[in-house]
């Protein structure tokens, strides 16, 4: 079993709902974004870039690519970063020493460090404010906690607290255009396998030989205009 995600760039409308819902469901502290969406080449978000004399605007969502050959896992000195049985790359917050070697190793720049004690997760009266409310452990490893320890690294978990219970990541659930499709890439009947079947797709940062499990379906927008 290997969880994977397909992102159809033709469907992505650049609304950044995936980034926000991810932040909400995973109680990401201020300043931390597991998901980001940008227009390649554009100086400002939502503006176009001129290629071959034609304006082009393509939205590209980026989060952890859950690489099979994950450089972050290779360099982690404590084994805090590991790949679970579903192929999801996770961080055990209780083993991370905060050396940030994984941040330097990740070519996708998706790893986030808690530079300060996260606050605002719980309200003034100690009430729950946002995010999945309880710690989530996998084989005893703390892979999600709504109140992050200071000085540890975090990143996308494919919403392990949901997917381990049969659900889908929040970004897939929340995407208004259904641009994200999640599932077991080894199961030909899964949503992601079915969606990718017969279609052209690619991975980003292929030169880094990380073997990502996030597959992008290229946009067809603007093809006619530039030819």
Partner 1 sequence: MSERTLQTGHGKWPVIVAAICIVLGCAAWIFQLSAGLLAGSGMSNTFAWGLMIAVFAFLVGFGAGSQFVASYIVLAKRNDLMPYVKVAQGIALAGAIGAGVAILIDLGHPLHIMAMLAGPNPTSALTWDMIALSAFIVIAIINVVAIARNSRLLRFWMVLGAIAAFALQLVEGLLFALMEARVWWHSVVMPIDFIVVAVVCGLAIAVIACALTKGDYNPDALHDLSFLLAVAIIVHIVLALVDLALVWFGGSAADAAAISALGSVWYLYVLELGLPIAAVFVLLLGKKDPIKSMFWGGGLTIAGMFFHRLMLLYPAFGSPTLFVTLSNEPSPAWALPASTGLYDHTGNAFELAQGYAPNVFEWVSMLLPLGIALAVFLIVTWFVGKMTHAQKETAARQAADADEGDVIIEDVEVVELTEKDASS
Applying CB under 8 A, the residues found at the interface with partner 1 are 9, 30-33, 36, 38, 40-41, 49, 51-52, 56, 58, 60, 62, 71, 74-80, 94-101, 103-117, 149-153, 202, 204-205, 208-209, 216, 218-223, 226
158 CB-near residues (< 8 Å, 6+ apart) = 3, 5, 64, 66, 86, 88, 169, 182
Strand ranges in 18-88 using DSSP code E only, listed in sequence order: 36-38, 49-51, 54-56, 60-62, 81-83
Give me the least distance between CB of 27 and partner 1, in Å please: 15
Q: CB-wise, 80 or 89, nearer to partner 1? A: 80
Give me the least distance between CB of 15 and partner 1, in Å please: 16
Q: CB-wise, 155 or 192, nearer to partner 1? A: 155
Give me the least distance between CB of 201 and partner 1, in Å please: 10
CA angle 19, 3, 57 (to 5 degrees): 40
Composition of the chain by helix, strand, coil, percent to 5 = 20, 20, 60
Q: CB-wise, 119 or 189, nearer to partner 1? A: 119
Rounded to 5 degrees, what are φ and ψ at 163? -65, -30
Tokens describing residue 47: 């503006």
Give me the least distance between CB of 167 and partner 1, in Å please: 25
Q: CB-wise, 58 or 84, nearer to partner 1? A: 58
Give me the least distance between CB of 12 and partner 1, in Å please: 10
């Amino acid at each position: 079993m290997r969880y994977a995600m397909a992102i159809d760039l033709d469907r992505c409308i650049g609304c950044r709902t995936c980034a926000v819902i991810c932040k909400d469901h995973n109680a990401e502290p201020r300043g931390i974004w597991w998901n980001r969406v940008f227009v390649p080449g554009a100086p400002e978000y939502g503006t176009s870039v001129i290629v071959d004399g034609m304006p082009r605007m393509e939205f590209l969502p980026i989060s952890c690519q859950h690489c099979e050959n994950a450089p972050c896992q290779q360099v982690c000195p404590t084994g805090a970063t590991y790949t679970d049985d579903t192929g999801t790359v996770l961080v055990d917050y209780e083993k991370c020493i905060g050396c940030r070697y994984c941040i330097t190793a990740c070519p996708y720049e998706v790893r986030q460090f808690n530079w300060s004690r996260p606050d605002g997760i719980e309200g003034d009266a100690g009430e729950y404010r946002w995010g999945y409310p309880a710690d989530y452990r996998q084989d005893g490893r703390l892979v999600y906690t709504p109140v992050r320890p200071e000085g540890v690294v975090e990143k996308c978990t494919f919403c392990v607290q949901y997917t381990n219970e049969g659900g889908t990541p929040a970004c897939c659930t929340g995407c208004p255009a259904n641009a994200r499709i999640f599932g077991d890439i080894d199961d030909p009947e899964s949503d992601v396998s079915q969606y990718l079947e017969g279609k052209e797709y690619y991975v980003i940062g292929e030169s880094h030989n990380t073997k990502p499990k996030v597959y992008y379906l290229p946009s067809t927008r603007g093809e006619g205009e530039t030819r």
